[in-house]
Copies of this chain bind each other. A is one copy, B any other.
Amino acid sequence: MGVIIDGCPSNIELNKKCIQDELDKRKPGQSSMTTERKESDMCEIVSGIFEGKTTGAPIAVLVKNSNMYSADYENLKDVFRPSHADASFFKKYGIRDHRGGGRSSGRETISRVMGGAVAQEILKQHNIKIIGFARAIGGETFENVDESFIEKNPLRMADESSFKRALDHVESVKAEGDSLGGIVEIRIKNPPAGLGAPVFDKLEADLAKACMSVGAVKGFEIGEGFSLSAKKGSEANDEFISNPGSDFLTRVRTKRNVNGGILGGISTGEDIWFRVAVKPTSSISKPQKTVNTKGEEVDLEIEGRHDPIIVPRVIPVLEAMTALVLVDHLMMNASISNFQFSNKKNE
């Protein structure tokens, strides 16, 4: 597996560790909550870095994967797994590569995480930080948010008081050979105002596409989202307030940030926040009914160990996608809005 990151500015400090750290968050086998296949997922930067800094050339990062798939997947050779992509891929391409690890496999997210790690490193240098956590699991929404708790628990929850109960829920579902889904909340801390384009490439539109392109994601809402649609205008509208300070960009603020830090497709300067619906893991041990490649109805039991919940492992992927969208828009802004200034200085 590998990823090629093109268009990265030169002279940015970058090392293997920042990529490996993000990979480790995505990796299976971190706890009993996630699959226990042994995937090494050790990355290596093979181009684009010289003496610790980006050169402007594409950055290629490789990950070696010692796992053998062929055996595990042999019994699924002729069967379409429910709620998996097998059948629609077959309909599209007219060919079936039954070995695991294809483009609908969770393993393709390794590339996303590696690209996102570089993007997050760039964002850090602009003092922008991305945080994701499990806002809901198996239908229960957690109200408290303590960001310091996120990396201390295997479910990546931010609500310590609910953790024990949620963990028990996951464990019992796992024991049944079943799975759970949940809702992820992503927060972008300290984004600049002015990111996003006003018509088709609104910032929330690009964020929605990026998140919806991750497997198992079924919904996206910016700010209060669906619940905002149930309110009256007088309740939903978020009044502007004046924040002391001489700079216009920071003086005009919104009072409650219900729109998630974006208005009219363009960031306001408030923290950006949105939520993403993740369906329960499709691979379950419980017996299921399905159809094989001959179109015959058959019974199916998927062997092996499965994540009872993939929410904790999807979070670093969604953080990565968010970072990639942000860097893209930061670069567009550097190019377009501030073009007249930046060029005079730098060319």
Contact = CB atoms under 8 A, between A and B. Distances in A.
A264 interface: yes
Contact of A337 (B56, B204, B223, B242): B56
A56 to B, nearest CB: 4
Interface in A30-71: 50, 53, 55-57
Interface in A123-142: 125-126, 136, 138-139
Contacts of A239: 82, 288-290
Most buried by B among A56, A57, A336, A339: A339
B104 A198 contact: yes
B199 A103 contact: yes
A153 interface: no
A201 interface: yes
A102 B282 contact: no
A88 B267 contact: yes
A34 to B, nearest CB: 15
Contact of A339 (B179, B234, B331): B331
Contacts of A200: 213
A119 to B, nearest CB: 12
A104 B265 contact: yes
A38 B107 CA distance: 37
Given A220-B219, A332-B335, A57 B102 contact: yes
A204 to B, nearest CB: 5
Interface residues of A, number: 137
A322 B276 CA distance: 21
A95 B55 contact: yes
A164 interface: no
B213 A218 contact: no
Nearest to A49: B97
Copies of this chain present:
4
A190 to B, nearest CB: 10
Contact of A226 (B91, B180, B226, B342): B226
Contacts of A205: 208-210, 212-213
B201 A213 contact: yes
A289 B228 CA distance: 19
Contacts of A113: none
A240 B87 contact: yes
A105 to B, nearest CB: 10
A182 B228 CA distance: 9
7 contacts: A11-B340, A56-B93, A92-B333, A179-B234, A181-B236, A192-B343, A212-B220
Interface of A: 4, 7-12, 50, 53, 55-57, 80, 82-95, 97, 102-104, 108, 125-126, 136, 138-139, 173, 178-183, 192-196, 198-202, 204-213, 215, 218-226, 228-234, 236-242, 248-249, 251-252, 254, 259-260, 262-269, 277-284, 286, 288-291, 295-297, 330-347
Given A88-B263, A181-B230, 7 more contacts: A88-B262, A90-B248, A199-B213, A202-B213, A233-B281, A342-B345, A342-B346
Among all A-B residue pairs, the 9 with the closest Cβ atoms: A85-B264, A342-B342, A219-B221, A139-B230, A179-B233, A335-B335, A92-B194, A209-B209, A192-B347
